[in-house]
Each structure stands twice: as structure tokens, then as C-alpha cells.
Amino acid sequence: MSSYAVKDLVRAAKGLISRIVPKQAGNFELAIISQENGKDVFEIESRDGKVILSGSNAVSIASALNWYLKYYCHCQLSWNGDNMRLPQTLPLVREKVRKNTVYDQRVYLNYCTFNYSSSWWDWERWEREIDWMAMNGINMPLAITGQEAVWQNTLKRFGMDDDEIRNFLVGPAYQAWQWMSNIENWAGPLPQSWIDRSIKLGQQILKRERELGMTPILQGFTGYVPIALKEHFPGADITIKPSWLKYFPPGTAQLDPLDPLFAELGKAFIEEQTKLFGTNHFYAGDPFHEGEPPKRYRGYLAKVGRALYDVTCSADPEAIIVMQSWSIREEVARAVPVDKLLVLDLNSTKWRKNQAFWGSKWVMGIIHNYGGNTAMAGALQRVLKQQSAGALRDKVYRNLTGIGIFPEAIEHNPVIYEAAAEMAWHSTTPDMKKWIMSYIHARYGLADPATQLAWKVLLRTFYTGKTSVESRRESTLTARPALKVYGSSMNGGLNNYKNYDFQDAWNAPKAMLQSSASLHDLATWRYDLVDMFRQCLADLGLPLHQSLSDAYIAGNKALFVDSFTVFLDLMDDLDELLATDVHFLLGKWLSDARKLGTTPAEKDLYEQNARWQLTVWGPYEADAVLFDYCNRQWSGLLKYFYKKRWDDYFNFLLLELDKPAEERYVETDAINHRFHRPANEANEFYRALSKWEYTWCAAGDSEKYITEPSGDCFETVTRLYAKWWPVAYEMYQQIALISTV
């Protein structure tokens, strides 16, 4: 490494430290040291009153800073507020700390994260996220911001005009699925001002990531093209594919990788991307993602794989293809030279049946979250074990060279992601109970017995090892109304009674309320208090819903009214709780979207995109399946969307109870369901309800949703705990009694 490069890395690390601990930045000295066996390493020591942070690159130095802050200063940088109460005199490191990782790649981000979380991020928010990445050892982030400009410039070279191109490009809340070749046109057309802004933002992101020594993964070309391109090249082998999930017209187009136009267009795409964003030679390429190839003859897929690699190398001879395991095909992968392919096993479920990806290097990862659902959930023990270096000692993991964090959305369950990232620096799996005590000491700044008790409860409930690594825990409150509710989203579920003791979980917020008063103004503590109690109240919706459902089926109108009144009251109180923390505000999401518009029309378009994504997701169709995929317990969304649906359902059933028993509405398995949920046109009630959902998305009344917290979380939790604990206790006692009969 040249002295110039060393100076640049040190300068980048100093910049990060000045952003994270500006008042103490002068008390740190930095140095670049050699890798150990070709792997990253960092050291921490004290010398002459200074803290010396050494690392093999800027990411390693940032990781050293994070380790020092957590384990010596008891501080934490977090998505949901920080604890940065550093002591005036920095603690001494009495014995040098040296940590090395066995992983070449520490990969971060899923395509979906760029929309379920960062659709409306500005540079300030991205800068903070990149600092978080570096401090958590991430050295290979996915970087796809600005792809719309790459497409615009590429397609202009092939004769398409601006209107055609911008009608091809989707709205800003849906770009991830366009880059994954699922959709085109939906929620647009995309304004030119958005494209121009994305160029600058993408360049800022990549500049900072590279300054810190990261190796970003950029987009590759797989043959996904606009449908309109067929009109410009009628002789090209372009297949119009069925619409994704059967309800995203007009479908998509696939240019056959064996057609000569593929080589021309693909090379142009990489060239235009390189002009705008440079390259680090890693290109994401997933042909036929969540779809079928246009041809099926023997040997075709192998030719596709070779064409994919060749076209990328034609523009960048050093190219390495990065494939996700989600829709990987063996013939395609094997056609890429083994040393030119990196496979990302997003949730570590595909490596075994795919023979550890046939000799190619691969990354073991976690997804954990889908759609930004707000459940406090995860299998912490499994994360610690899977992500630590101990995994490499298992010979079945041959060719494993990295770990990854691939959530569809972030800014929730920080403990899971802190653990997943930190394990890169652990040679063995740490004891979970000891590790969690260190984690909360850093998160809150002191070893408080009450918070320790709360987290012991969380380990045996929400974060129990009985669940999978992933998190799909949902609530009846956010589900489409029905007498029998199976889940909110197409892949989610409510079958949680066997996973943990709901009643025991209430001991977590109860303990938090006994914490030291010095914690009450700490953002991390406040967020955790709200989140713990939010999950308790959300879970309470399960037995309350069962009660109202039983009352309706029994024809007991008085009990039905009482039960439904309690159910709706719970939704109101949960909304009030969520309003106390900025991370649970619908208004913030809508406001952030509107801020990016440069005209009233753009602001309205972005707000509608923001609402669509959270609720109906896609266009109205009788057989739509993605509605409520992004269900979130947010203040404003709960009160004005989810509660309104349940209130309408209550009134519908109330009228039915006035009819003779033989004429009343009966919910049977024959009702038209979409993934165990009533479809948009299951009956007249759901037809009207789903139409209202789309009306809500176009309401344009964002001003009524608060963008700043309202109320004090400690007072609110104290009051609502006293109100709802007796209800919860009675409900869970009844369940326990029934289960013993």
C-alpha cells in the first residue's frame, strides 16, 4: 500500500471519528497496520494519554473505534438514537486489544432495503448509515442509488426518448423491484428532477464508501429491458414476460442473452454506469430473478451464464459477478469461472441443497426482516452462532468466505444487527447472556439492574432461540379484518403462542419502568421501552380478537360490542404510545417523501408512493397478493388506516347480528382468500374496503400526521401498563386454563 493510500485511509477514518465523537476526536491517534493472513485486523491501546486505534484499513479503524466505545466507554451508535455520553477523560486500555476477522467479505444491504427503508433518505442520513457500516465492519455494501440515470443514459444510446424512458422507470418507492427485473412503469412516471438528484446522491455514497476502503457492489446487466425497446428493435429476441405475481401490467421484457443486441446493450450499460459511478469490479447479476427463462432447451442456461459474464467483462475485464441465492440456477452459476463468482446466500438456506455453490466463494447471511414489519423478534443465539468465526470450522461450509446482513428493511431490532456484525471479530461464539449484558451496558451507559432484568425477559420471549433467525411475527391489529386471522402479509403469521410466554413478556417493560431515572432522557432507552411495550400490546390483540370473533359466532351481540370496543380502544392506546417516539411516526415517512419533491405534483406523487408501499403495495386487482406486506405499527397508520378498517368491519358485523341467525354473514373457508387473507373482491364488504384503501393512498392529507413525537413515553407506558395489564392477565389466564382442559 502506497504512503498516499495510507494517508487517504487515515484521513477518512479521522473524518468518521470527528463526526461520531467530535469533542473527543483529538484524543485518538490512528495508524494503518498490515493484515493478518490476508484478513482485516484492528488494535486498540493507550499511549501517552491518547487512545491508539490501528487497523488494516479505515473500516478496521472504525471497527476499533466502535469496540472501544462499546467495551470501554459504554457508548453506542444506533439507528434508534444514540448513547454517546462519553466520560470527559477517555478510559485507558491497560492491555492491547487485537481483533482479526476470518471473513474476506462483510456484505450489507438487500435491494429491498433501498425502498422499504431508504426511499426518502438524503445525504445526511446516508452519511450516518455509512459511518454505521464502517463501525460495524461492513466492507462490501450494495450500492444501487442512481441506477435510473444509468438506464436513462443507456437507453438514449439505443434510440429511446425521454418520455419512453421515464415511463419505463418506476416510482421512487419501487425501484428495488425494477432493478431486480420484476416490474416496469408502476407508480411513475419518474420525474427528471429525481433522476438528477439520484446521480449526485449515488456519487456521494460511493465516494464515501470508497474513501473508507469499502468495495461496493454495483448493478450488472442481465437482459431485463423496457417493453418499448421491442418497437425499436423488432428483430431482436425480446420476450414479453407475464406480469410479476400476475397483477403488475404490462409485464416485463427479457432480451435473450444469446441475441447479439444483449452484448451491445450490456456493454453500454456497464460503460454508462462506470462514467457516472466508477467501478470496484463487483456486479450484481441475477438473471430471471423470481421468473422463468425465455428458453428451456438443454444447455441454454449455461450459455446464459457465459453470456452474462462475457458482456460484463467486455466493459470491465476485471469483473466479478455477484449472484443472490434467492433464484440461483446451477447451470447459470457454473458457467461463470469459479474465481469470478461470489454467491450471497441471503438467509443461509440454499447452500446445502446447492452443494455450497459448486466451488465458488459464498457469503452466509441473515435477512431477518421482511417489508419493514415492526415486530420485536429474532433468534439471537442463532445469529451469534451463525455469524461468528466458529462457522468456518465446520467443514460443510466449504468455500465460505464471508458473512452478510441482508434485511429487507432496517431501523428496528438493533440488537440483532449489532450481534450479526460484531461476530465478524469473534473467533468463537460468545455466551449470549454475557454478551447481552455488555450490549445493554453500552446501549444505556450503565449496568442498571432493572434494564438487565428486562433484557433477561426479552431473551426468553421475543428473542428466544425457539424461533427462526428471521422475523415474521405479525399482529391482528394490522391484518385485513376477518373473523379468522392467519396473518397480515402473504408470508407472515400469527401462530406465536408456542414460541414464547406472552404473559411473561410483560415483565420486560415492567422492569424498564423501574430503571434509574438518569436513563429517562436517553434516546436508546426510550426507544426500547416503547418497542417492548408496543410488542406486548400488539400481542394482546390476538386474544382480544379471538374474543370478539367467538362472540359474533355465538350471536352474543352485547359481548361482541364489548369485545370490539376493547379491541378498538387498544388500537387507540397503541397509537398514542407510538406517537411518543419519532421512529414510529407515519407522518415522518410521508414528510420525508414530500420534501424530495420540487413541485406540488412531485410531492403528491412521492407521498402516494410512500402510502402505496406501506398498504396496498401495487395496483388494484381482484387477486392482488402484496397488500399489507409492509404492515407497520406506526402512529397515524394504526389510527387512520388499520383502525378504520376494523371499525368498518365492526359496523358490518353489527348489522349482521340484527338479522336472524340463518341469514347472518358466515365466514367459511370458501371465501376467496389470497394467502389466507380475504381477497380484494372476496365479497361486497371487502370490495368496498379495498377501494377505500386506494382512496386513502390518494388522500393527500399528510398535514394531519405528526412528524415530531407527542407525549412522554415513560408517563404513557406507566399509565397504559396499569390500564392494560389486568386485561392481559385475565386473557392469558383464560388461555392457560383452556390449554389444560
Q: What is the mean pLDDT of residues 44-64?
A: 98
* pLDDT at 446 > cutoff 50: yes
Q: What is the mean pLDDT of residues 96-111?
A: 98
HSE-CB for 225 with a 13 A CA cutoff = 31
- For 21-50, b where at least 16 C-beta lie within 10 A, e where not — what string? beebeeebebebeeeeeeebbbbbbbeeee
The residues with which 39 forms a beta bridge, in sequence order, are 36
Q: What is the mean pLDDT of residues 581-606?
A: 99
Q: What is the pLDDT of residues 67-94, one digit of tens each?
A: 999 999 999 999 999 999 999 899 999 9
Q: What is the mean pLDDT of residues 447-453?
A: 98
Q: What is the mean pLDDT of residues 383-392?
A: 82
Question: Are the C-beta atoms of residues 276 and 149 closer than 8 Å to each other?
Answer: yes
What are the Cα distances from residue 348, in Å, to 143, 333, 351? 22, 17, 7
What are the Cα distances from residue 141, in Å, to 95, 215, 405? 33, 7, 10
Question: Are the C-beta atoms of residues 625 and 245 closer than 8 Å to each other?
Answer: yes
What confidence score (pLDDT) does residue 468 get? 56
**Bond from prior residue into 234 cis (ω within 30 degrees of 0):** no
Please, what's the largest Cα pairwise distance for the chain? 87
What confidence score (pLDDT) does residue 741 get? 47
DSSP 3-state assignment of 281?
Answer: coil
CB neighbourhood size of 730 (10 A): 11
Q: How far apart are the first and last CA of the chain?
A: 72
470 pLDDT band, cuts 50/70/90, is: low
Q: What is the mean pLDDT of residues 293-321?
A: 97
Helices (DSSP H) in 75-122: which residue ranges? 113-116
Q: Angle at which helices 432-444 and 380-387 pack, to 10 degrees? A: 100
For residue 569, which of 501, 477, 436 has the smallest C-alpha distance?
477
Of all residues in the chain, what percent are helix, strand and coil, respectively (each to 5)?
Answer: 50, 10, 40
Q: What is the mean pLDDT of residues 551-574?
A: 98
Q: Tell me how far apart the alpha carbons of residues 403 and 368 are, in angstroms, rounded to a whole number.
A: 14
467 pLDDT band, cuts 50/70/90, is: low
Q: What is the pLDDT of residues 153-163, one digit of tens each?
A: 999 999 999 99
673 pLDDT band, cuts 50/70/90, is: confident
Domains, in order of start, for the chain? 3-100 (3.30.379.10), 105-430 (3.20.20.80), 458-740 (1.20.120.670)
CB neighbourhood size of 235 (10 A): 9
What confidence score (pLDDT) does residue 494 get? 83
* pLDDT at 739 > cutoff 70: no
- pLDDT above 90: percentage of residues in the chain: 90
Q: Angle at which helices 3-20 and 58-71 pack, to 10 degrees? A: 30
Tell me which range, 386-400, 406-420, 456-470, is most confidently predicted by mean pLDDT.
Answer: 406-420
* Radius of gyration in angstroms for the set of CA atoms belonging to the chain, rounded to a whole number: 26
* Single-letter amino acid code for the residue at 15: G
Q: What is the mean pLDDT of residues 658-681?
A: 90
**Grid coordinates 452459476 are at which residue?**
333
What confidence score (pLDDT) does residue 738 get? 67
* pLDDT at 3 > cutoff 80: no
What are the Cα distances from residue 685, in Å, to 91, 447, 665? 64, 54, 11
* Single-letter amino acid code for the residue at 202: G
DSSP state of 623: T
The residues with which 240 forms a beta bridge, in sequence order, are 253
DSSP 3-state assignment of 324?
Answer: strand
352 pLDDT band, cuts 50/70/90, is: confident
Residue 160 phi/psi, 5-degree rounding, is -85, 140
What confidence score (pLDDT) does residue 2 get? 60
* Single-letter amino acid code for the residue at 367: I
Q: What is the pLDDT of residues 8-44, one digit of tens each?
A: 999 999 999 999 999 999 999 999 999 999 999 999 9
Q: Name every residue whose Cβ is closer than 8 Å to that of residue 726 and which is 6 or more positions away in sequence.
A: none
What confidence score (pLDDT) does residue 471 get? 67
Mean pLDDT value across the chain:
95
493 pLDDT band, cuts 50/70/90, is: confident
3-state secondary structure 161-203: CHHHHHHHCCCCCCHHHHHCCCCCCCCCCCCHHHHHHHHHHHH
CA 12, 18, 20, 26 dihedral sign is positive
